[in-house]
Amino acid sequence: NWLKNCDTTLFTFFCFLHPWGLCSNSFFLCISSGLSTGGCPFVHEVRKDEDICSPILRKLFNESHHIFVGLQGIRDDLPSKNKKTQFVSISKNYRSVIRACMEELQRISPVFFLQVSILLAVELIWNLCEVLFIDAAPAGSLLLHLLDWVRLHKADVDEKARDVLQSESPTEHQAYWDVVISYVLQGRMDEARQVLMKQAALQPAARGMFKLLDNLLIKMPIFNPSGAQTLTEFDVKWRHWHEEVDRCLQDQSFASNPHLEVICKILVGDEDVLLEHKELLSTWYHFLVTRLLFSHPIVKPTELHYYAQSSMHMFLDTRSVPEPLDSILLAAFEFDIHQVIKDCSIALNNWWFVAHLTDLMDHCKLLQSHNLHFGSNLREFLLLEYASGLFTHHSLWQLAVDYFDHCPEFGRVYLELQIERVPLDTERKALKVLRICEQRQMTEQVRSICKIMAKGALRNNRLGSALSWSIRAKDAAFATLISERFLQDYCANGAFSDLDLIDNLGSAMLLSDRLTFLGKYREFHRLYGEKCFSDAAKLLLSLMTAKIAPRTFWMTLLTDALPLLEQKEVIFSADQTHELMFCLEDLTSGNCLPKPDRDEDIDTTKIEILRLALARNLAKAIVKEGTVEV
């Protein structure tokens, strides 16, 4: 039966999802390998993906958390136009956080190359989603937004331009024409013209040609969304311009200057010429936008996917397989939000990104129009995954709490399950966790945590701390246990520890009988210390007669009464003395437990002394009470 001839056995599985956005599931997996030949003594702790929680990424999580919480607070009753502006603004916030993180990583070390490129891709996708889904630009503005998008992600043009313009002889720089053409490809006509002017200045003979091209560049119509011009009017104007450019080509106006001719062909939207500049375009989506700029500037959102697909096919080598990023962008151009999210989840293995993006899109009410049976829960599903991952981190777990709070279906129970696993290393941390639980009325967790802390304190002999934790946990049994310990300590040492706590118990005293006794007993000591002897005496007596004191403690109490009995003035009245005597008799008569000899001796002596003191006090009391004051 015990011939377990296995090489690998899995024993513990904790799913701790890792917070770093790159990986989805990290967990402490204990794998031990046992071989039938002698055995391997190693146990491996395994985690999916590395722990690269650098401070920069921490900032990303912290700041995106801040944005997330703000987003949840946006009121539903705002008019939709205002909401859209807010949502776009929030989207931009998220993107700037990604950018900041990326730039810092770049600055620190080239070692983070992989992370930087992933963040770049993430921002690229997010930006496109913002343009297409959140801002939802209509025809006309759509192209402008796409141009911005491309320009933002192809920033190397400016760097090259700087190099060229700052060189000794810009027009002879090898990248000169590349810069001009790159600007034209991005629709940045003003910059293109500026650079072209350098060349124009050097060739007075060709001034006419340069003037002509300059003219074409200036006159290119750009749609103005806030202007009075309608889309149709713009279209008409654009077509005029397009025809003019075409005429220049037909007239061979630029024949003598191949560079200018190329630019002209680009302006007319010649796809073959565009494709000749693959290197400058570098990506198919740049090609797509440029193509649209020069052939279909009033492209409608619904037409995008057709152009996107064909652009991708034209641009990419027929043999090459589209990369995940390409598929994701294509899905976006096809307005298939769910596909985008799905592909991102798989390709990036990145809960951070999909969780926040999906949440934002859910707020924009973009997910509900899709007919998946877990449509609205997709948001919650992703947020739960992300937040669970955060919980493994020793300080980021606090961010996760807010995420769980905004998951209406399972957030609370996930939080309940996870928060109990936060190691309570310090009292401060325990208090933090406790506060979170108390704010959410998670009474079970509060009790559990308090019990754990009480147990820990008791183990380290910190009775006061243990007592206050068990009071907080409302754990009567434990409170009783600790009170017993206090009392035992008192019997052994003659003094109380943690007086402050016991003195200020207040109503918490009522939690357990033993605790009440402890509190009252301490009060007796206090009264005695303050020389309020008659009050002390009354309290002492009541502790026994009201049965608050456990019988095992009566001897001690009676011994405590001794100094009060031996005082010169009479403290205990005759009646009270009678009661004390009754208690003593009660105690001694019922006491038939066999005891070791020595104890019996001590006890007998004590009892004798008590009897004597009580008798003397009774005498004094009777006399005092019988005396008539003249």
What residues numbered 372-401 form the site for another protein, per CB under 8 A?
Answer: 372-374, 381, 384, 388
Q: Which stretch binds another protein (CB under 8 A): 31-39, 191-199, 263-271, 336-344?
A: 31-39
Separation CA 343–CA 561 (nearest Å): 82
Q: Specify the DSSP class assigned to residue 172.
A: G
Does 86 contact another protein by CB under 8 A? no
Residue 113: which residues within 8 A CB-CB, separation 6 or more? none
Give me the least distance between CB of 495 and another protein, in Å please. 23
**Residue spans of alpha helices (H) in 167-270:** 176-185, 189-202, 207-219, 231-250, 258-267
426 sits near another protein (criterion: CB under 8 A): no
Pick from 98, 268, 422, 434: which binds another protein (CB under 8 A)? 422
Burial class (CB in 10 A: 0-12, 13-18, 19+), 113: exposed
* Number of residues this chain uses to bind another protein (CB under 8 A): 62
* Residue of 445, 446, 444, 471 lying closest to 457 (CA atoms): 471
SS3 567: coil
Residue 504 in tokens: 């200020």
Q: Counting contacts by CB under 8 A, is residue 413 touching another protein?
A: yes
Rule CB under 8 A: is residue 615 a binding residue for another protein? no
Judged by CB, which is closer to another protein: 235, or 475? 475
Give buried/exposed letters for 475-499 (b at 16+ CB in 10 A, else e): bbebbbbbbbbbbebbeeeeebebe
Nearer to another protein, 398 or 567 (CB): 398
Q: Judged by CB, which is closer to another protein: 98, or 361?
A: 361
Q: Which is nearer to another protein, 137 or 424 (CB)?
A: 424
Residue in 207, 421, 595, 616 binding another protein, rule: CB under 8 A: 421
The verdict on 405 binding another protein (CB under 8 A) reads: no
- Binding another protein by CB under 8 A: which of 141, 171, 327, 448? 448
How far is the C-alpha of 574 from the C-alpha of 621, rounded, in Å? 5
Binding segment for another protein (CB under 8 A), chosen from 198-206, 335-343, 446-454, 486-494, is 446-454
Q: Is 38 in the site for another protein (CB under 8 A)?
A: yes
Tokens of 583: 């208690």
Residue 118 burial class via C-beta count within 10 angstroms: exposed 0-12, middle 13-18, buried 19 and up:
buried
Q: How many Å is the Cα radius of gyration of the chain?
A: 42
Task: Decide if residue 474 touches another protein (CB under 8 A).
Answer: no
DSSP three-state, residue 29: strand
54 binds another protein per the rule CB under 8 A: no
If binding is defined by CB under 8 A, does position 44 make contact with another protein?
yes
42 near another protein, rule: CB under 8 A? yes
Task: Determine which residue in the list 452, 548, 581, 622 makes contact with another protein, applying CB under 8 A.
Answer: 452
Q: Does 414 bind another protein (CB under 8 A)?
A: yes
Could you give the CA distance from residue 113 to residue 383 in angstroms, rounded to a whole number? Answer: 27
Answer for which of 36, 85, 117, 439 binds another protein (CB under 8 A) is: 36
* 73 near another protein, rule: CB under 8 A: no
Nearer to another protein, 51 or 575 (CB): 51
Decide: is 29 part of the binding site for another protein (CB under 8 A). yes
Q: Does 218 bind another protein (CB under 8 A)?
A: no
- DSSP letter assigned to residue 323: P
Q: What are the structure tokens assigned to 245, written together?
A: 């450019």
409 versus 566: smaller Cβ distance to another protein:
409
Q: Please, what is the minimum distance in Å from the beta carbon of residue 397 to another protein? A: 12
Please report which residue ranges of 546-596 form alpha helices under DSSP H: 554-566, 574-589
Is 50 a binder of another protein (CB under 8 A)?
yes
428 counts as binding another protein under rule CB under 8 A: no
> In the 8-state DSSP scheme, what is residue 27?
-
Stretch that binds another protein, among 53-61, 160-168, 418-426, 546-554 (CB under 8 A): 418-426
Instruction: Give the binding range for another protein (CB under 8 A) out of 163-171, 333-341, 406-414, 513-521.
Output: 406-414
Kindly report the number of other CB atoms within 10 A of residue 273's CB atom.
Answer: 17
Could you tell me the smallest distance in angstroms from the CB atom of residue 247 to another protein? Answer: 58
First to last CA, the chain: 99
Regarding 14 and contact with another protein (CB under 8 A), the answer is yes
Mention every residue, 6+ apart, whose C-beta is less than 8 A from residue 375.
367, 368
The residue among 28 and 113 lying less far from another protein, judged by its C-beta, is 28
Contact 220, 143 (CB under 8 A): no
- The helix/strand/coil state of 220 is coil
Q: How many CA atoms lie within 13 A of 171 on its CB side?
A: 10
Residues that bind another protein (CB under 8 A): 1-2, 4-16, 25, 27-36, 38-51, 372-374, 381, 384, 388, 410, 413-414, 417-418, 420-424, 444, 448, 451-452, 455, 459
